[in-house]
Amino acid sequence: MSYTEQKEEVYQSILRLTQGDQLAFTDIYNVYSRKLFLHILTITKDKDTAEGLLQDVFMKVWDNRSSIDPDQSFQAWLYTIARNTVYSYFRQVAKDQKLQQQLYHHFDELYEVEMDGNLQDKQEELLGRALATLSERRRQVFQLCKIERKSYEEAAVLLGISTSTVSNLMVKANQEIRKFIQEHYGEILLFIIACHIK
């Protein structure tokens, strides 16, 4: 089957879905669910959670089938539902310590990930604001050890301080960064979701 034929087949399934056709719903699920599941899994890092959220997304698709416009991008509509569903999930469990640790881990990844266009601008702006909360010495240590991935020993030599001082400064810097993440939880979460579900 050619790409054009496949696209037409999906379009016809979407048309039938808007009329309440359950077989069409199954077809749509089969076309989109695997890729969407992987996107959600990338964010949640938990298979059971990702599977549950995926089911929530497709329940919303079924519940809102009559509002689907077949002439608009179904995938964009589907991924908007997914973004909102994942965001709602994270908001509900925002006070969970394990989840906060997960968000910190995601934020940590932003030091290395290359992004395009507007996302890169937002990435640099978020990182800049986070680093601006640190004192000059903590920022220097954090820059060397966390962003440039130098060892504590290397940082100590470069800054002319002891390794134990580097360690103490990193502990304090990490505490400040965690505080920044907690204070800007919603904004950072939306950014991370936008990076993974487009």
Per-block mean pLDDT, blocks of 10 residues, the chain (198 long): 76 91 92 93 86 94 92 92 88 66 65 62 81 92 88 92 92 87 75 65
Do residues 47 and 137 both lie within one domain?
no
Instruction: Output the CA–CA distances (angstroms, integers) from residue 2 to 6, 8, 73, 75, in the order listed.
Output: 6, 10, 20, 19
User: Containing domain of residue 53, as a range?
Assistant: 3-92
* Domain end point (choices 59, 92, 125): 92
* Domain end point (choices 92, 108, 131): 92
Domain count, the chain: 2
> What digits encode the pLDDT tens for the residues 81-98?
998 999 888 877 666 666
Do residues 77 and 113 both lie within one domain?
no
Instruction: Output the CA–CA distances (angstroms, integers) from residue 164 to 24, 25, 152, 168, in the order listed.
Output: 63, 60, 8, 6
Do residues 112 and 165 both lie within one domain?
yes
Residue 94 pLDDT = 63
Do residues 101 and 84 both lie within one domain?
no
Residue 16 pLDDT = 93
